[in-house]
Amino acid sequence: MSMTHYMSLLADNQPWNLIIFMAIPVIFAETITVTEFFILFGKNTHGALRSFNRICSILAGLYFTGVFVYLFPTAFIPLTVNGEWHTWVDVVAVSFYLSGVFFLLPLALLDLGIIARNRSAEGKMKLHFILVSGFLVVAHVAMIFGMINPEIMGGMAGMKH
């Protein structure tokens, strides 16, 4: 069975690639999301839980930026230049995965006080929630498309219904 480059990356060098490229970013994002719910529903914007949430957000953003900086020139660009994509499904999986940097990096910058300085505390929390939610969406799209066998995309035209 053929697989996308996304799934191939996770399957290679077991278990390290799975941990480095999927488990760590997703566990960070889910931890941020769960703590965010407690912060928002408890209206407790200060304290240990918010500090923990802030630290996780900064670490997740910096970590995933490192993943992006590593994978974009070593995987995405060569696959594109050499025409090695395994159908459009492969492009979608890898592109959505890498697009997570557009959500996690601003999340870190927000909690570092570099962006959105003039927003209210409520406005910052809304932006925080939107960014972590955006990452979870693109990560799950990447996972879904990454699990598709790209060979079936080319061979479905003659399929009987």
* Structural domain that includes position 75: 5-148
- Does residue 105 sit within a domain? yes
- Does residue 142 sit within a domain? yes
Question: Total domain count for the chain?
Answer: 1
Three-class HEC string of the chain = CCCCHHHHHHHCCCCHHHHHHHHHHHHHHHHHHHHHHHHHHHCCCCCHHHHHHHHHHHHHHHHHHHHHHHHHHHHHHHHHHCCCCCHHHHHHHHHHHHCCHHHHHHHHHHHCCCCCCCCCHHHHHHHHHHHHHHHHHHHHHHHHHHCCCCHHHHCCCCCCC
- Does residue 155 sit within a domain? no
Which pLDDT does position 128 carry in this prediction?
A: 95
- Does residue 98 sit within a domain? yes
- Does residue 159 sit within a domain? no
- Does residue 15 sit within a domain? yes
- Does residue 87 sit within a domain? yes
The per-residue pLDDT string of the chain (161 residues; one tens digit each, 9 = 90 and over) reads 689 999 999 999 999 999 999 999 999 999 999 999 999 888 887 899 999 999 999 999 999 999 999 999 999 999 999 999 999 999 999 999 999 999 999 999 999 999 999 999 889 999 999 999 999 999 999 999 999 998 887 654 443 43
pTM beyond 0.85, yes or no? yes
- Does residue 153 sit within a domain? no
